[in-house]
Amino acid sequence: MVHAPERPPEGAPRVRINLYSDTQTKPTPAMLDAMMRAEVGDEQHGDDPTVHALCDRMAALMGKEAAVFMPSGTMCNVASTLVHCRPGEEIIAHETAHILTSEGGAHAALGSVQILPLKGPRGMYTPDSLRGALRGKSRHTPTQRLVEVEQTANTGGGAVWAKSTLDEIAEIAHGAGLNTHMDGARLMNACVAAGIAPAEMAAGYDSVWLDFTKGLGAPLGAVLCGSRDFIDEAWRWKQRLGGAMRQAGICAAGCLYALDHNIDRLAEDHANAKTLARGLAQMEGVEVQDPDTNLVFFTIPGTGVAAADLVKRLRMEGVALSLLGGRLRACTHLDVTAPMIEDALTTIRGALAKG
């Protein structure tokens, strides 16, 4: 089986500390209560008041004219590409960007676009490398249409792009006649870490979205923001892709709850990630990337234990981690407390000591 997700191994204990991903949070009773009480209507008919409330609030938060509710972040990225680009055109993005590595080739399969991958440490490229990637216009070259950034850069270790860099990149892109797109799956983590408002962070970007299932605790939903015309076209693709929903206000209410209750507390996740990174760095043979936000990437080259074996051993102890391209990733989120971090460190130390 290659395509369907694997089920948990037979006999594996319940996961008691889930560092696998900030997507695995469970809605709290208070969030569920808000969802149960949501006023709803037919979303694809324009009749769901809770979805409208969420979209209005998100457009204001991001400093854009309009917003559309989507079932997932991937659909926000794909719909954005389909609005921005025509077949044969090119997107410039970091080589580790989610659109390039983790969306099943959707941008090629559905948009017939190619992605020009830029290099750079921690999931980020420089304004100079963007300048260097701009092609002269000729019938030989693909037409470049879109410049993409990921804030925070996921496989870059949850790295936060400096606002000044984001502004410079947007200026270069717009100067060359290209549009700009911000994959803001974890934009709020960046905003909380940097103390910068989302509208400011996304000011130079024609489209930007936020995922409510990444550390914000909602079970479903992402919101894409942009100009009125852009969102109008994005709606066309939402319909085509099967993302137009019905009583989606039940989900939008979870997202509104997350905006009210789960943003400021992201600072706790960042503090827990720092504690975890510090503890890991003290273990012999472990190499850790210092986290900006809630993602801790590390390798264990000097421990004599293979990364995949450590994942299995920890899972049997009820601690879940992920393995991404040979690196281990531990992710903090609202279901992970400070005592759990201490417990996880003890468990990891024990699993490595077995050699």
Point out which residues bind ligand PLP (CB under 6 A). Answer: 72-74, 77, 98, 150, 154, 183, 185, 211, 213-214, 222
Residue 114 CB partners (closer than 8 Å, separation 6+) = 89, 90, 91, 108, 142
Provide the minimum distance between the beta carbon of 88 and ligand PLP in the complex, in angstroms, as a whole number: 24
Residue keyed to tokens 């997932």: 72
Kindly tell me which of 270 and 286 has the beta carbon lying closer to ligand PLP.
270
Provide the minimum distance between the beta carbon of 218 and ligand PLP in the complex, in angstroms, as a whole number: 10
Provide the minimum distance between the beta carbon of 47 and ligand PLP in the complex, in angstroms, as a whole number: 25
Taking a C-beta distance cutoff of 8 angstroms, is the pair 276, 338 a contact?
no
Strands (E), 212-318: 222-226, 287-288, 295-299
For residues 263-281, one letter each, b for 16 or more C-beta atoms within 10 angstroms of the residue's C-beta and e for the rest, the string is beebebbbebbbbbbebbe
* 174's tokens: 């717009």
Q: What is the strand order of the sheet 207-211 is part of?
A: 66-70, 222-226, 207-211, 179-184, 144-150, 90-94, 114-118
DSSP letter at 159 equals B
Kindly tell me which of 245 and 286 has the beta carbon lying closer to ligand PLP.
245
Provide the minimum distance between the beta carbon of 156 and ligand PLP in the complex, in angstroms, as a whole number: 9
Kindly tell me which of 286 and 329 has the beta carbon lying closer to ligand PLP.
329
Point out the residue whose Cβ comes nearest to ligand PLP. 73
Provide the minimum distance between the beta carbon of 76 and ligand PLP in the complex, in angstroms, as a whole number: 8
Kindly tell me which of 332 and 347 has the beta carbon lying closer to ligand PLP.
332
Provide the minimum distance between the beta carbon of 11 and ligand PLP in the complex, in angstroms, as a whole number: 29
Kindly tell me which of 273 and 348 has the beta carbon lying closer to ligand PLP.
273
Kindly tell me which of 34 and 222 has the beta carbon lying closer to ligand PLP.
222
DSSP letter at 262 equals S
Burial of 42 (0-12, 13-18, 19+ CB in 10 A): middle
